[in-house]
Amino acid sequence: MRFGKTLQASIHPPWRDHYIDYAKIKKLLREGDDSDSERTPASRADELEEWTENDESEFVHELVNVQLEKVNNFQREMNEQLKSRTANCEARLEQLVSATPVRGPTSSLNPAREQIGGEERQKTLTQVLEDLDGITSDINELEKFSRVNFTGFLKAAKKHDRRSRGVSAAKGKGKGKGRGATSGEYKVRPLLQVRLSALEFNREDYSPLLYRLSAMYAFVRENIDRDANDHGQTRTSSVGSGPQPHGSRKYISHKFWVHPDNILEVKTFILRRLPVLIYNPQPSKEVDASRRDPTINSLYFDNPQFSLYHDKLSKASEAASLRLRWYGRLSDKPDILLERKTMRDSETEGAVEERITLKEKYVMDFINGNYAMEKTVQKMKDRPIKNGEDVNKYEALVRSLQDFIKEKKLEPMLRAIYTRTAFQIPGDDRVRVSLDTDLALIRDDCLDEDRPCRDPEEWHRKDIDDAEMEYPFSALRKGEISRFPYALLEIKVLESGLHGRSKEWVNDLMNSHLVKEAPRFSKFVHGISVLFDDHVSSFPFWLSELDTKDIRQDPKQAWEVEQQKVKKQIEDETIVGSFRPGSRDFGGRSAPFSNTPNMYGATPPVPERGFPKIAPQGEGAKKSSGSDEQSSDNNGDSEEDDSDTEDLAKVSHSVATASGLRNLFPTFSTSRYGRAHRKPNAPVILPPGVQKPGILIMHSGPVQVEAKVWLANQRTFLKWQHVSVLLASLSLGLYNAAGKHNHIAQWLAVVYTAIAVFAAGWGYTMYMWRSRLIRERSGKDFDNVLGPVVVCLALAVALAVNFAFQYRNMKERKGHAHPPITTTAPEIFNVSIDKEHIVGLIQQGGY
């Protein structure tokens, strides 16, 4: 797609006037439509020859002084507005906090709490939540605004420099270098880059602002839920129903790639539901919200034969990986974790993670087996809170890790450096989300004895850590580093630990156009495969996707794919019914996720709320179902049973062919509700020991119908009476204007009156009938299209008959028209009038 079309599609309508005027830039460059194929080489050469120094100065002035200043001023203004709006929200919440004292046992001792505990408090929280949503939305749009305008300036500079080369070539072949050759050889891109580097445009860091928004989102959510509980209301938490016991905790991991264009939108989508975890390296009560996301270093181990790599890639039993991990720079003396992750075959155990903490000065001795953590063990024994069993377990773990390194002949091989943004509710780890950006995979081996990347006497590369290199690590050689082009999103969900709104937004994100599913992706496997491709014989499947595919998806297309999944899920629910674990009766709404281990393996039904609900037109699309091919790092690849494929095809065919007059009557309704209720006597095999109840629970108590049901029935009745009054008014007006001899209009007035009476009677009859069904909790369909069909047909017939009669009368009047009367012309006398007589008559007014 041409950039001009891309720019038009990316414009945010309220900010249209502040984008780069790309059409004007092209006009100054004297470029027409890029797709114009009728322009001859001679005409192109003429255009190049016409370029002068005045044209050059006008273009540079417009691009650098006008357009760039316009875009940068708007960018700066919007940043200030966002910060001001954020500060305003913080001030309103601070007033709410200062006006809310500590909870007391009685309301009489807590007057302030009672004062703000009602509608005013709820109104303030709701307004702040709406303002926060508006701020996050504007942040997303501003980031897109910066990106597309930045691209536009670079495109314009590229077009100019390409024209400059053409001008120089044309003048070299023609008149030689003259006065215009200097302007023709002028390059505008260096000037533009210097100007861009001096401005904040496209270099804004939104992380501090996102941290502040995340804290306010968490406060608002907590207080809204607390107020709802105080008033006895049931409100579904954004995560789940409560913490799960720690005895059998098992997480299901889902991994995705995120394109750099979508990173900010993903962040803002998540922080509306989960707060951002701010990494604080030093224990402190004060949290610095302006601190940047932590940089994580993961140093992976393997042997020269890359046995750990091949075991992990082939999903071998008991496949293990070993790494050293630390936050920030080594010069800050951080704690270094030695972690081993082993994949188990057991469905309940999953992956087992073991770790110990080391100091930098002991790492090399520990790897060589010269240090067995004696000081740490002695400190544990000296502590009274530590029993002997814990100390023995720790010593066994230390020996196991050292034996593992020695047996496998492991050594540091690969380093992964990335910036992590973590999202989690403090104290509630049922949903843990991490977003890794700026991922750089670096060789940290000494396989080449002549030119080792790492000193064999050291456990890490000194050139990186001593120089405190940062991304993008430009000082490293090309073959030593691989920069991953996307961000990595990982969602860890505690099995059977979610319900309600949490499942909706998690499912929406996983199936949105913002992410690309990457099951079983591993930084370790990817780094080895791309940096040590000469040493390994097998490669992961996702390498081909990185080389050939653009992971960005069209929102509308992604939404349509999800609708197909939803349609298939509806068919599954109709067939399987109550035999599916976790599903409900056909009279109610099924749960979005099942409680089985593959809780994300099936496509859930459409949730009531989510992100965005309509077919997208350039924005985020509504995602209402789960992916059909989700995989878990803990469980391995899950495959679904396709034994019901034939039955699904039959039901799908029967639903698709249901057409014609059957759809006019409720007995032949093809909806889920109608199809389920057409088989009331279908035999149901109950489990052993379960008996069919005589009275359903829903029928055991008194009839309680919500007011909105009655109001809906009454609104339908009033609509019918409205139609009846309109038809009666039309018939009365038609009858009064008909006259004595216009019998057609009189008869039509009578017909319209009859239709009006029928509409009134039908509306009243249906109102009473539906009221009875509501009181009886009947399972019958409430729709009946007979009345609307009768009224529409009657009106159509009346109009057709009116037209036919009027047309016949017109033909009859035309056929019985009187012929022209012919008379004998009287004898004409010759009269002679002179000129003076005519003038006299004119003056007297005779003519």
Question: SS3 string of 803-826?
Answer: HHHHHHHHHHHHHCCCCCCCCCCC
Phi and psi of 462, rounded to 5°? -70, -30
Phi and psi of 431, rounded to 5°? -125, 120
Let me know if 221 is exposed, middle or buried by CB neighbors in 10 A (0-12, 13-18, 19+): buried
pLDDT of residue 230: 56
Residue among 129, 127, 135 nearest 210 (CA): 135
The domain boundary residue, chosen from 187, 205, 221: 221
Task: Assign 356 to helix, strand or coil.
Answer: strand
- Strands 481-483 and 411-425, by their bridges, are unpaired
Residue among 120, 124, 185, 192 nearest 157 (CA): 192
> Does 176 lie in the same domain as 71?
yes
CB 7 within 8 A of CB 19: yes
d(CA 418, CA 436): 6
- Strands 295-302 and 411-425, by their bridges, are antiparallel
Residue among 118, 128, 187, 188 nearest 153 (CA): 188
Domain membership flag for residue 258: no
Amino acid at 315: K
Let me know if 522 is exposed, middle or buried by CB neighbors in 10 A (0-12, 13-18, 19+): buried
Domain membership flag for residue 160: yes
Domain membership flag for residue 583: yes
The domain boundary residue, chosen from 775, 791, 808: 808
Residue 634 Cα to chain centre, angstroms: 26
d(CA 574, CA 586): 8
Q: Which residues pair with 428 in a beta bridge?
A: 425
> Does 720 lie in the same domain as 672?
no
pLDDT of residue 178: 43
> Does 195 lie in the same domain as 76?
yes
The domain containing residue 738 runs over which residues? 707-808
Cα separation values, 40 from 45, 164, 175, 448, 462, Å:
9, 19, 21, 57, 60
Classify residue 272 by its DSSP letter.
T
Contacts of 122 (CB under 8 A, 6+ apart): 224, 227
> Does 665 lie in the same domain as 749?
no
Residue among 84, 94, 110 nearest 220 (CA): 94
Domain membership flag for residue 92: yes
Domain membership flag for residue 15: yes
CB 3 within 8 A of CB 152: yes
Q: Which residues pair with 434 in a beta bridge?
A: 422, 490
d(CA 167, CA 175): 12
d(CA 470, CA 295): 9
d(CA 387, CA 372): 20
Cα separation values, 484 from 299, 418, 474, 770, 837, Å:
17, 10, 14, 62, 111
Phi and psi of 16, rounded to 5°? -55, -40
Give the number of other CB atoms < 10 A from CB of residue 713: 19
Domain membership flag for residue 600: yes
Give 505-542 pLDDT, tens digit per residue.
Answer: 888 898 888 999 898 899 999 999 999 988 998 889 88
d(CA 217, CA 214): 5
Residue among 9, 143, 94, 608 nearest 135 (CA): 143
Domain membership flag for residue 236: no
> How many domains does the chain fold into?
3
> Does 169 lie in the same domain as 84?
yes
pLDDT of residue 161: 82
Instruction: Say which residue the tokens 């009287």 belong to.
Output: 826
> Does 660 lie in the same domain as 613?
yes
CB 212 within 8 A of CB 86: yes
Give 665-688 pLDDT, tens digit per residue.
Answer: 444 444 444 555 445 455 566 666
Q: Please give the angle made by the CA atoms of 747, 748 and 750, to the nearest 5 degrees.
A: 65
CB 201 within 8 A of CB 71: yes
d(CA 240, CA 227): 17
Low-confidence ranges of the chain (pLDDT < 70): 1, 32-50, 99-118, 164-185, 227-249, 280-292, 345-350, 385-386, 496-501, 548-549, 571-690, 696-704, 816-847
Report the run of H or E that residue 567 belongs to, with start and end.
helix 555-576
CB 745 within 8 A of CB 770: no
pLDDT of residue 43: 52
Contacts of 434 (CB under 8 A, 6+ apart): 420, 421, 422, 423, 489, 490, 492
Report the run of H or E that residue 51 belongs to, with start and end.
none
Cα separation values, 326 from 337, 359, 406, 416, 420, Å:
6, 10, 23, 11, 12
Q: Which residues pair with 443 in a beta bridge?
A: 414
Helices 189-198/68-98 angle, 10° precision: 20
> Does 52 lie in the same domain as 198?
yes
Domain membership flag for residue 399: no
Q: Supply the Cα-derived Rg of the chain in whole angstroms.
A: 39
d(CA 507, CA 387): 44
> Does 62 lie in the same domain as 171?
yes
> Does 205 lie in the same domain as 120?
yes
Contacts of 162 (CB under 8 A, 6+ apart): none
Helices 119-173/68-98 angle, 10° precision: 160
> Does 62 lie in the same domain as 201?
yes
Q: What is the pTM of this model?
A: 0.57
> Does 147 lie in the same domain as 71?
yes
CB 268 within 8 A of CB 140: yes
d(CA 326, CA 522): 18
d(CA 790, CA 5): 51
pLDDT of residue 403: 93
Residue 196 Cα to chain centre, angstroms: 31
Asked whether the bond before 472 is cis by omega within 30 degrees of 0, the reply is: yes
CB 89 within 8 A of CB 135: yes
Let me know if 345 is exposed, middle or buried by CB neighbors in 10 A (0-12, 13-18, 19+): exposed
Residue 684 Cα to chain centre, angstroms: 41
Residue 294 Cα to chain centre, angstroms: 26
pLDDT of residue 440: 96
Classify residue 498 by its DSSP letter.
-
d(CA 431, CA 453): 39
> Does 712 lie in the same domain as 662?
no
Length of the chain: 847
pLDDT of residue 615: 38
d(CA 653, CA 790): 31
Contacts of 647 (CB under 8 A, 6+ apart): 575
pLDDT of residue 386: 65
Cα-Cα-Cα-Cα dihedral sign, residues 348, 246, 423, 320: negative
Task: Assign 713 to helix, strand or coil.
Answer: helix
Compute, in degrees rounded to 10, the torsion defined by CA atoms 40, 43, 44, 49.
160
